[in-house]
Structure 1
Amino acid sequence: MGGKDADLVRNVLVLGAGAMGCYFAARLIEAGTSVTLVDVDKARIDTLNASGLTVIDDRGTRNVPVKASTAQALRDVASMVIVFTKGIHTATAMQQIAHLVGPETFALTLQNGLGNAETIAATIGRDHVMFGVTDVPADLVPPAEVHSHGKGKITLWSMEEAGTPQAHMLEALFEAAGMSAKADPSAQVAVWEKVAFNAALNAPSAILECPVGGLDSVAGRAIVEAVVEETVAVAHANKVAVDPTRIMARVNHALATHREHKPSMLQDILAGRATEIDLINGAVMAAGEAIGVSTPVTATLVHLVRAKEQFART
């Protein structure tokens, strides 16, 4: 990359050294991009700096040297920030890197849920924020091994027209790293369709404490389909042209082929961690309330997950 493209990747920060953050960082580093993984776990940071990342994917197995740090230890202004923290940590993560944000810093969120881009924009400004979704697979095997098998893609766009050139630059950056990416003005559709998918499977699975296959029953499907229907109604009311047939096809595929998968919200409940309920089902409920669309099944799931979280803390 040259010119402005080179400026954009001069100093890339990847926030969150989980599976996705580690895999994306490794692929960008292999393509020659200057990347620092930013995390709060000092032990993980020390391990990554000492031994690098072992990457196992369809390209083979290799070790990728990485630089990892806490935000507080960094001083150089970032050119690009790619956010992979859980949505409940987005605001804190942005506060921690505020001293690394300059007038030419851009950011991309590929996180789950709704509202992350707006949270990031509070620090960086809407003109400099891009958002999107990815289904690139990644699993972290502690302490520093990441697996990714199968194809996935990245769909992204800018919050404001001023950021359109940078969205296309990021598309080129990911493509140069051998990842399938598309800068697409309809990225908001992809975001909402992923929210509908996650809302339909995550919360019921967390409440019932069952893997995805446990929802494949008459009663389970009634809940799942109602959540999809409500999310689609809210999206359409907000002029986001999601396709319910496409969403249900993805849901049915998961019910048929990923039966033993434990969604992240279930994993959080079982581990006693806070969930992303407010960024997924809760965000759909709030968006519905704001525009006058009722979401009774979604609202019930939100309250049940919140109740489980509160009970776990007592």
Structure 2
Amino acid sequence: MQNAEEASKDSGKRRLSGRIHILGVGNVGTFVAHSLMSRPSPPPVTLLLHNPDLYSSWLAKKKCLALNSNGLDDIKTGFDVNVLDGRSWHSFPYWDENGEVVAETEDVEDVKAPVTAMALESVKHRLTPDSTVLLLQNGMGVVDEVNEKVFPDPQNRPNYMYGIISHGLARRKEPFQVAHTGIGTTILGPALSANSTGVVSENKDDWAPSTKYLLRTLTLTPPLVAVAETPSSLMLYQLEKLAMNAVINPLTAVMNCENGELLYNYSFTRVMRLLLLEISSVICALPELQGIPGIESRFSPERLRWMVTQLANKTAKNHSSMLQDVRAGKTTEIEYLNGYIVRRGEELGVKCVVNYMMKHLVLAKQQASKQRDASAIPIDIL
């Protein structure tokens, strides 16, 4: 709480509550929430659960998050919970004199957008230009979509942060349990500020108090192994991860194979090279990167290919998240990986035909999976 007071001291605005809300308790959300509660003096943490069934599972798990490392479960409690039921959020726990739970409700608007936009739509009535939203996701272009669909008025947007997590995390069979399979790092930094028209401030003094507080809290949380970067430095890390994911994820999703099967295969190598030639051309031409030294060498096709090979080798026995999504009939992140490269390429006059084809192969695989499950027969009416 002292950190929250320090962050808001010079802002001339109301004091920060210090509360951190976690929207989504998948592998990453569970890991971050568990890590925060591992601090000697943890901040107040609220888990946002998107349906009542998830809350029932939460009660069945005795309101605990478990992180398994080296075969041992580390269990944390003390979380507050909000549950979305229809159009209302229910806040727990509020206890009456008999020890019974009393729910407080808030009206929310209808949800009408893809996953991230939809999730933020449900809590946008809570977010102000003093708020900070941290996005811990693969791909790029999410903030642009959120601004278009959820916060079209630049004066009323929250502040955004991005994060890149390289920890090894695996979902266990039971809900609210995650296996920590490998220690990595967490790279954090601000994105566009609430009133920005496109220029990212590199000066920490210009960052919102809630952004400073969240950065400080997370970087002082040892299990996350977190470091703070400037917006431009963080973008370079994001683009490196984008390049690797835009090769490994769609290829394994289309070919239904483990990451390591992409190695030592001449035909896969040819496709990888063509994808990376386009990705390198687009990244090196991005206007927001012009003037940053070393871009051409950092994002050369040869270096990107080396990074892809290293990652595929390190995760050889893993199934990519995109392959898992296709198998589960879920919407993939392809529009924010290869789709992002195609869109930015079109803006720059670069035709990314291989990435365009890969995007549509994944979309076709995804659609075919859904149609097979539904026994549907598509009919074109002209």
Partner of 1:181: 227
1:170 aligned onto 2:214: yes
The alpha-carbon deviation at position 22 of structure 1 amounts to 0.8
Among the aligned pairs, what percent are the same residue? 23
1:34 aligned onto 2:44: yes
Matches within 5 A, 1:60-79: 61-65=73-77, 66-71=79-84, 72-74=88-90
Greater alpha carbon shift after TM alignment, 207-216 vs 169-178: 169-178
Distance 1:170 1:308, change over 3 A: same
1:128 aligned onto 2:159: yes
| CA–CA distance in structure 1, aligned partners of residues 118 and 255 of structure 2 | 30
Q: Is the 8 A contact 1:14 1:25 kept in 2?
A: yes
Q: Is the 8 A contact 1:75 1:100 kept in 2?
A: no
Q: Is the 8 A contact 2:4 2:213 kept in 1?
A: no
Q: Is the 8 A contact 2:131 2:210 kept in 1?
A: no
1:56 aligned onto 2:59: no
Partner of 2:245: 198
The alpha-carbon deviation at position 41 of structure 1 amounts to 4.0
Q: Is the 8 A contact 2:129 2:158 kept in 1?
A: no
The alpha-carbon deviation at position 137 of structure 1 amounts to 2.5
Query: Could you say which structure has the greater relative contact order, defined with CA pairs below 8 angstroms and 6 or more residues apart?
Result: 1
Q: Which structure 2 residue ranges, 5 or more long, are not aligned?
A: 9-14, 93-112, 194-200, 290-294, 372-382
> Which of these residues, 229, 243, 250, is aligned with residue 299 of structure 2?
243
| CA–CA distance in structure 1, aligned partners of residues 4 and 18 of structure 2 | 11
Partner of 1:3: 5
Partner of 2:132: 106
Distance 1:209 1:257, change over 3 A: same
SS in 1 for 2:331: coil
Distance 1:8 1:29, change over 3 A: farther
The alpha-carbon deviation at position 167 of structure 1 amounts to 4.4
Greater alpha carbon shift after TM alignment, 146-155 vs 241-250: 241-250
Question: RMSD of aligned C-alpha atoms?
Answer: 2.6
1:159 aligned onto 2:192: yes
TM-score, normalised via structure 2 length: 0.72
Bigger radius of gyration, 1 or 2?
2
| CA–CA distance in structure 1, aligned partners of residues 343 and 320 of structure 2 | 22
| CA–CA distance in structure 2, aligned partners of residues 163 and 292 of structure 1 | 34
More helix per residue: 1
Distance 1:182 1:294, change over 3 A: same
TM-score, normalised via structure 1 length: 0.87
SS in 1 for 2:227: strand
